[in-house]
């Protein structure tokens, strides 16, 4: 279909590009004139394609169409006008001229909020839903028939920018293309707009954007965010007009701060370390992060009382030369200003937000090595202040302030441990935006260790933004891979230097026996970072010459990865999931388990000491239902790794698919079978069989959830296991002689007791244990059930605790026990004990599990891939294959004058059992 595109901006550019990809012919582009010698993005791409471009300043004069403009339009012969973002008034004889008329995009679910500021009013009015309409243009004010509409939920702290970037922009482009295709196929509806619920609000201007403080707090919050960033809601504070940006509702306790007088309200505001706190007449509070003065200068609200001028720098000759080069850049942008002097104000001289981007990028290009952000321009609006800021940045004097940490300290395990407890976002520890906290508890005695920041959706969004900015504009993704590896080696060294402190924190927060925490929880974490640090300069970007054209393999995701880790191995799971991600050059946002956040936050402190750039690693403690769900839904996260239960894994996978089809790796539940044949080494089978169940208190994803013991040795095996259990010391996990520590948290302990009660009701034989230990804390006795039949709950469901579930199988019935072992929806790990190598190979090749242990158990290694099948999830941790989950392979097909070559890439993963041949009879 022949299309005329009437509009402008990046939105118009994307619609144009996608329509051409769909095979439509754009016969003319009608956009706005160049501004300061710079063409609109739509004009730029159209001119590059050779599409006729028209840049009319206006289409009408005094309400009447300009004949020559209308004739130039008609000459292109369009069958449909597509108006993706149009700021000009288009005459009706142009609207109605094409065979199919005109369609236009509008950022509102019409008829709600007709008018040019519709998206602002969606927020100002506190609507729970936002969206857009594509309608058939008419001579009314957005009153034409509807073609299609899309909607999304409005989140509590959404602004115009977040709504636009998350939904209105990407989904609007797709919808415009969809609408054109519906018209081309003759399937486009024309649904008349109802007048019921219709409204028309005018364009919001600064003059009527003053905040009425005599309202409920949520109404005030909606008004502020509805004006962020344009035109900006304002109040009078201490007699000064201040514009407010980045508002959020404060649901936690009100922080302490210095009072300020706010016009129109009796209760003063507060300047706290988190920002400006304002109160509505209902006594509730909101928080504002940034303030802008009337001269255009913007500051963090927390620095309202400390915004005094710093001493002016004397510039060197080289710095003066750079300043003059920057003056030329300012002059190129502010072409209407005759002379750029020290007092020239960037914004008062007419600069807009696009000019901010241009200034930052041109200065970066001209003065390489100096990292500027758009926000820097708002913080230094005059030429003199900009140069002073630039020179400080150049000299390194304007570096990030030294990391400030509000530790919780405890004297424990013959040392003083220092534990961060706040969210870690963009290189800083800070309270959750709404100030909420929760208790993390020591399972040894049930005491509260400290209050930890409880991250909100807004905190997750800030963490994702920081991670995306760190990749897009920071040094991490652009860094030489060998330098990235050096930083990860440094991080591993620091973890080793602090290993006793990390193990102690792990012990008091998760209940892990200290010696195990030191060797495995922390020790393997260090090994993992060292292993993947070595991979940094070995992940290849390959170039293969084919005739005169190259074939490239692109390695990095180039975006944000998210990680959700469990509570059984808090630090080790962090290492398994994050080390490969970081080695590949990606950035990450990580949610530790809600009940065990402290080693992750201590790890965050060590990343700063290791020199990992800010924003590369962000840690947001909180609930899975809030923080984890937002990660699954977030459109800027492109890969998510999760270890946890199968039901939650299914929910995450569903959310990831619906949000943006992000890649997912899942390590989920298990019911790993361990088969013990009568020809085994009995001593080893007893020792390793107990380890397979009771290792880490049974809180182990690959724990042997069900033992199958050959009938002829069954009774002897059980007798010896019970003898060994009675020798185990249950007690304080910091005691070096303790064998068995507390379960991780009270709710889990209660589930374990219930699990055992179900086993008793099912008439399985409770040989030993099944009870909570009568002492402070969350202790569960090592437990043994026998006579467990296949239909029983405890035969099918994972306990995730110190419960040995044993079933007999008939002597010599190898295939029968294999069938029973595989009769499960899980497939994470398995094991077999026998001296017969042929039997070992036969069984291990037929066990449906990601790992098969032979005459051993729990022997994982950082170089060996780890993962499961069926409802135990998919994707691998560790080993070389883990790198593939953080890389993209791009295939290129080339057709040259010499030949046609098709390249096909196939990745085949062969499952091999992890085996120990020790003790096998050859």
Q: Which residues are annotated as a binding site?
A: 88-90, 142, 565-567, 591-594, 624-629, 644-645, 751, 798-800
CA distances from 238 to 260, 262, 305, 827 (A): 6, 7, 12, 66
Among 667, 699, 781, 848, the active-site one is 667
* DSSP letter string, 512-556: --HHHIIIIIIHHHHHHHHHHHTTGGGS---EEEETTEEEE---B
Contact 286, 258 (CB under 8 A): no
Phi, psi (5° rounding) for residue 548?
Answer: -105, 5
Active site annotation includes 375: no
Contact 524, 862 (CB under 8 A): yes
Give which of 690, 733, 306, 328 is closest to 510, Cα–Cα.
733
Phi, psi (5° rounding) for residue 237?
Answer: -120, 125
Cα–Cα distance measured from residue 553 to residue 422, given in angstroms and rounded to the nearest whole number: 40
Cα–Cα distance measured from residue 880 to residue 540, given in angstroms and rounded to the nearest whole number: 12
Among 24, 106, 221, 634, the active-site one is 106
Residue 296: CB atoms within 10 A of its CB come to 17
Q: Which long-range contacts (CB under 8 A, 24 or more apart) does 159-163 make?
A: 159/123, 159/225, 159/228, 159/229, 159/246, 160/119, 160/120, 160/123, 160/225, 160/226, 160/228, 160/229, 160/230, 161/228, 161/229, 162/461, 163/119, 163/122, 163/123, 163/130
Among 423, 701, 756, 887, the active-site one is 701
Give which of 469, 460, 456, 299 is closest to 372, Cα–Cα.
469
Cα–Cα distance measured from residue 348 to residue 776, given in angstroms and rounded to the nearest whole number: 67
Reported residue count of the chain is 922
Looking at residue 632, what DSSP letter applies? H
Positive or negative: CA dihedral 6, 9, 14, 20? positive
Contact 598, 505 (CB under 8 A): yes
Q: Return the bridge partners of 740, or none.
A: 730
Backbone dihedral region for residue 911 (phi beyond 0: left; psi -120 to 50: alpha; all else: beta) = beta
The secondary structure element, H or E, covering residue 452 is strand 448-453
Helices (H) and strands (E) in the chain, counts: 28, 41
Q: Could you give the 3-state DSSP secondary structure of residue 700? A: coil
Can you say which residues are annotated as belonging to the binding site for (6R)-10-formyltetrahydrofolate?
A: 88-90, 142
Looking at residue 88, what DSSP letter applies? S
Q: Could you give the 3-state DSSP secondary structure of residue 218? A: helix
Cα–Cα distance measured from residue 371 to residue 391, given in angstroms and rounded to the nearest whole number: 11
Q: Could you give the 3-state DSSP secondary structure of residue 219? A: helix
Positive or negative: CA dihedral 811, 815, 816, 821? positive
Active site annotation includes 498: no
Contact 597, 440 (CB under 8 A): yes
Positive or negative: CA dihedral 268, 272, 276, 279? negative
Can you say which residues are annotated as belonging to the binding site for NADP(+)?
A: 565-567, 591-594, 624-629, 644-645, 751, 798-800
Cα–Cα distance measured from residue 368 to residue 252, given in angstroms and rounded to the nearest whole number: 43
Positive or negative: CA dihedral 164, 166, 169, 171? negative
Cα–Cα distance measured from residue 305 to residue 58, given in angstroms and rounded to the nearest whole number: 48
Q: Could you give the 3-state DSSP secondary structure of residue 465? A: helix
Contact 771, 732 (CB under 8 A): no
Cα–Cα distance measured from residue 523 to residue 516, given in angstroms and rounded to the nearest whole number: 9
Residue 9: CB atoms within 10 A of its CB come to 19
Active site annotation includes 714: no
Cα–Cα distance measured from residue 641 to residue 575, given in angstroms and rounded to the nearest whole number: 12
Catalytic residue numbers, as ranges: 106, 667, 701
């Amino acid at each position: 279909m022949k299309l005329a595109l009437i509009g402008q901006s990046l939105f118009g550019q994307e619609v144009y590009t996608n329509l051409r990809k769909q095979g439509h012919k754009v016969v003319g582009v009608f956009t706005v004139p160049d501004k300061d010698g710079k063409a609109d993005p739509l004009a730029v791409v159209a001119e590059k394609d050779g599409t006729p471009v028209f840049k009319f300043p206006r289409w009408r004069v005094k309400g009447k169409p300009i004949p020559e403009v209308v004739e130039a339009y008609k000459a292109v012969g369009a069958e449909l006008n597509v108006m993706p973002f149009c700021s000009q008034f288009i005459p009706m004889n142009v609207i109605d001229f094409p065979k199919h008329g005109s369609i236009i995009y509008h950022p509102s679910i019409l008829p709600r909020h007709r008018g040019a500021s519709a998206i602002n009013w969606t927020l100002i009015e506190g609507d729970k839903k936002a969206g857009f309409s594509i309608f058939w243009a008419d001579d009314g004010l957005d009153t034409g028939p509807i073609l299609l509409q899309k909607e999304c939920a409005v989140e509590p702290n959404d602004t115009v920018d977040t709504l636009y970037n998350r939904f209105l922009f990407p989904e609007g482009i797709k919808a415009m293309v969809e609408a054109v295709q519906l018209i081309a196929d003759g399937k486009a509806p024309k649904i008349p707009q109802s007048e019921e619920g219709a409204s028309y609000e005018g364009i919001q201007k600064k003059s009527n954007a003053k905040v009425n403080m005599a309202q409920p707090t949520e109404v005030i919050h909606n008004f502020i965010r509805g004006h962020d960033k344009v035109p900006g809601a304002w109040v009078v504070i201490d007699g000064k007009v201040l514009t407010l940006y980045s508002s959020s509702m404060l649901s936690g306790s009100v922080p302490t701060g210095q009072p300020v007088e706010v016009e129109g309200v009796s209760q003063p505001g507060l300047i706290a370390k988190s920002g400006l706190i304002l109160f509505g007449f209902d006594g509730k509070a909101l928080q504002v992060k940034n303030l802008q003065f009337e001269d255009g200068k913007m500051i963090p609200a927390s620095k309202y009382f400390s915004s005094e001028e710093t001493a002016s720098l004397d510039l060197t000759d080289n710095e003066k030369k750079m300043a003059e080069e920057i003056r030329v850049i300012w002059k190129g942008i502010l072409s209407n200003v005759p002379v750029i002097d020290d007092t020239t104000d960037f914004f008062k001289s007419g600069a807009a937000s696009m000019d901010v981007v241009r200034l930052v990028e041109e200065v970066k290009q001209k003065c390489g090595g100096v990292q500027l952000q758009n926000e820097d321009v708002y913080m230094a609006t005059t030429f003199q202040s900009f140069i002073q800021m630039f020179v400080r940045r150049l000299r390194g004097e304007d570096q990030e302030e030294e990391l400030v940490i509000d530790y919780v300290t405890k004297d424990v395990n013959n040392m003083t441990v220092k534990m961060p407890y706040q969210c870690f976002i963009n290189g800083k520890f800070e309270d959750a935006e709404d100030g909420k906290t929760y208790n993390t508890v020591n399972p040894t005695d049930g005491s509260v260790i400290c209050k930890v920041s409880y991250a909100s959706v807004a905190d997750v969004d800030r963490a994702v933004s920081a991670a995306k900015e760190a990749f897009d504009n920071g040094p991490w993704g652009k860094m030489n891979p060998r330098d990235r590896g050096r930083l990860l080696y440094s991080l591993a060294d620091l973890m080793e230097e602090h290993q006793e402190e990390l193990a102690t924190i792990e012990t008091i927060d998760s209940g892990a026996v200290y010696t195990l925490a030191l060797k495995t929880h922390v020790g393997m974490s260090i090994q993992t970072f060292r292993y993947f640090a070595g991979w940094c300069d070995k992940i290849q970007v390959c170039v293969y010459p084919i005739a005169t054209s190259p074939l490239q393999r692109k390695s990095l995701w180039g975006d944000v990865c998210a990680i959700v880790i469990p509570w059984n191995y808090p630090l080790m799971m962090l290492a398994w999931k994050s080390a490969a991600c970081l080695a590949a050059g990606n950035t990450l946002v990580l949610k530790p388990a809600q009940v065990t956040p402290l080693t992750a936050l201590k790890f965050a402190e060590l990343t700063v000491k290791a020199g990992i750039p800010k924003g590369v690693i962000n840690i947001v403690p909180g609930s899975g239902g809030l923080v984890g769900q937002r990660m699954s839904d977030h459109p800027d996260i492109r890969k998510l790794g999760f270890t946890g239960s199968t039901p939650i894994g299914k929910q995450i996978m569903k959310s990831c698919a619906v949000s943006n089809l992000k890649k997912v790796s899942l390590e989920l539940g298990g019911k790993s079978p361990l088969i013990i044949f009568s020809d085994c080494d009995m001593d080893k089978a007893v020792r390793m069989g107990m380890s397979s169940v009771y290792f880490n208190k049974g809180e182990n994803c690959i724990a042997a959830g069900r033992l199958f013991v050959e009938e002829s040795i069954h009774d002897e095996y059980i007798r010896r296991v019970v003898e060994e259990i009675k020798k185990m010391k249950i007690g304080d996990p910091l005691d070096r002689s303790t064998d068995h520590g507390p379960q991780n948290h009270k709710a889990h302990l209660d589930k374990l007791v219930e699990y055992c009660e179900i086993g008793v009701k099912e008439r399985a034989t409770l040989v030993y244990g099944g009870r909570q230990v009568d002492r402070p804390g969350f202790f569960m006795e090592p437990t043994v059930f026998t006579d467990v039949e296949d239909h029983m709950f405890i035969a099918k469901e994972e306990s995730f605790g110190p419960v040995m579930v044993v079933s007999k199988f008939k002597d010599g019935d190898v295939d029968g026990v294999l069938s029973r072992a595989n009769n499960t929806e899980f497939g994470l790990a398995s094991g077999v004990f026998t001296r017969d190598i042929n039997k070992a190979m036969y069984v291990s090749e037929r066990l449906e599990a990601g790992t098969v242990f032979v005459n051993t158990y729990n022997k994982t290694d950082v170089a060996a891939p780890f993962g499961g099948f069926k409802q135990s999830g998919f994707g691998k941790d560790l080993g070389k294959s883990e790198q593939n989950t953080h890389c993209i392979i791009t295939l290129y097909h080339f057709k040259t004058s010499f030949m046609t070559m098709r390249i096909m890439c196939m990745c085949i993963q062969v499952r091999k059992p992890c085996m120990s041949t020790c003790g096998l009879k050859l």
